[in-house]
């Protein structure tokens, strides 16, 4: 059984975490995910990535405690890969189809957008303190950025979980839908993103992530560089031409 499945359609790649029963992360799953991520970044036909979990119960329950022996390898790899997702050159959407706990939620937090299924009893949270450990794959930082310091500390220190409605209200997820419509809505959103000018999208993502990681001054510098890059693209010409001709632009990524 492949622990990571990749399906491509309409410039969109769907990456499915396929490690039952809870889509946890052992070394094999982490290595397969790393290869998939590298391949998708290099594939110019892919403009948007959706990450979801196999089945309808778990997005991902985080670290696989059965592979604790490889913990010293898995954890640094998780931190590095989740950061790579946050700084990915293409938009990444987390389609949260079920429980997202610990490292699973930390992966969703690293994605650019989060769409969550409003399934009965399904909750998400960073519950590591129940085990006497802390979120170690970026959760302390990314949750705080999304929901604010007070809420993040309340959730983390007390291992609180939230349902889809609560997650939407606090800005933890971008939108909520039914389980039945989750992948349809994620795909519709991804296709719309894929129709945007890919080079410009990549420049925006790079500028935003640079500002977060390296500060405002550096972020502004990267924004300036990106503005120069896109001015020389065919997509820029197409955008202005389509505007004058009063038609939708067709961006080709060149």
CATH of the domain at 56: 3.90.226.10
Q: How far apart are CA 98 and CA 118, in angstroms?
A: 9
Lowest mean pLDDT, pick from 83-87, 186-190, 205-209, 245-249:
245-249
Q: How far apart are CA 104 and CA 125, in angstroms?
A: 9
Please check whether residues 187 and 63 belong to one and the same domain. yes
Does residue 162 lie in a domain region? yes
pLDDT tens digits for range 120-160: 889 999 999 999 999 999 999 999 999 999 999 999 999 99
Closest CA to 66 of 25, 98, 30, 99: 25
pTM: predicted TM-score of the whole model, two decimal places: 0.95
Beta strands across the sheet bearing 124-125: 58-60, 99-101, 124-125, 161-162
Res 141: pLDDT: 97
Please check whether residues 38 and 112 belong to one and the same domain. yes
Pick the catalytic residue: 41, 86, 128, 184?
128
Chain position carrying tokens 């009965």: 120
If pLDDT is split at 50, 70 and 90, which confidence band does 77 have? very high
Does residue 18 lie in a domain region? yes
Res 121: pLDDT: 87
155, 125 Cβ separation under 8 angstroms:
yes
In sequence order, what are the beta bridge partners of 4?
Answer: 17
Judged against a pLDDT cut of 90, whether residue 49 lies above it is answered with: yes
Please check whether residues 74 and 11 belong to one and the same domain. yes
User: What value does the mean pLDDT take over residues 161-166?
Assistant: 97
Please check whether residues 62 and 186 belong to one and the same domain. yes
- Total of domains in the chain: 2
Does residue 144 lie in a domain region? yes
Res 163: pLDDT: 97
> Which of 194, 213, 233 is where one domain is finished?
194
pLDDT, averaged across the chain: 96
Please check whether residues 160 and 210 belong to one and the same domain. no
Pick the catalytic residue: 31, 41, 86, 106?
106
Judged against a pLDDT cut of 90, whether residue 177 lies above it is answered with: yes
Does residue 249 lie in a domain region? no
Does residue 44 lie in a domain region? yes
Closest CA to 127 of 97, 104, 95: 104
Please check whether residues 101 and 186 belong to one and the same domain. yes
Please check whether residues 176 and 202 belong to one and the same domain. no
pLDDT tens digits for range 199-253: 999 999 999 999 999 999 999 999 999 999 999 999 999 899 989 999 999 999 8
Does residue 181 lie in a domain region? yes
Res 254: pLDDT: 87
Q: Is 190 exposed, middle or buried (0-12, 13-18, 19+ CB in 10 A)?
A: buried
223 included as an active-site residue: no
- Percent of the chain past pLDDT 90, that is, above it, reads 96
34 included as an active-site residue: no
Does residue 253 lie in a domain region? no
User: What is residue 64's DSSP assignment?
Assistant: -
Please check whether residues 67 and 177 belong to one and the same domain. yes
User: What value does the mean pLDDT take over residues 60-83?
Assistant: 95
Please check whether residues 26 and 88 belong to one and the same domain. yes
**Host domain of residue 221:** 198-244
Res 10: pLDDT: 87
Please check whether residues 185 and 214 belong to one and the same domain. no
Q: Say whether the peptide bond before residue 21 is cis (omega within 30 degrees of 0).
A: yes
């Amino acid at each position: 059984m492949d622990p990571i499945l990749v399906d491509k359609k309409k410039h969109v790649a769907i990456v499915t975490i396929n490690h039952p029963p809870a889509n946890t992360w052992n070394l094999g799953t982490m290595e397969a995910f790393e290869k998939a991520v590298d391949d998708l970044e290099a594939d110019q036909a892919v403009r948007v990535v959706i990450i979801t979990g196999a089945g309808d119960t778990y997005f991902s329950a985080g670290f696989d405690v059965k592979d604790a022996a490889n913990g010293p390898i898995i954890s640094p790899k998780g931190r590095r890969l989740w950061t790579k997702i946050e700084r990915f050159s293409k938009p990444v959407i987390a389609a949260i189809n079920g429980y997202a706990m610990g490292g699973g939620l930390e992966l969703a937090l690293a994605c650019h957008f989060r769409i969550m299924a409003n399934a009965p009893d399904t909750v998400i949270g960073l519950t590591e303190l129940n085990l006497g450990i802390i979120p170690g794959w970026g959760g302390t930082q990314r949750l705080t950025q999304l929901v604010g310091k007070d809420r993040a500390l309340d959730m983390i220190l007390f291992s609180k979980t939230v349902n889809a409605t609560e997650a939407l209200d606090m800005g933890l997820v971008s939108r909520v839908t039914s389980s039945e419509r989750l992948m349809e809505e994620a795909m519709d959103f991804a296709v719309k993103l894929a129709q945007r000018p890919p080079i410009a999208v990549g420049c925006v993502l790079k500028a935003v992530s640079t500002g977060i990681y390296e500060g405002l001054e550096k972020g502004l510098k990267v924004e300036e560089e990106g503005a120069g890059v896109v001015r020389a693209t065919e997509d820029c010409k197409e955008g202005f031409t389509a505007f004058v001709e009063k038609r939708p632009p067709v961006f080709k990524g060149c």
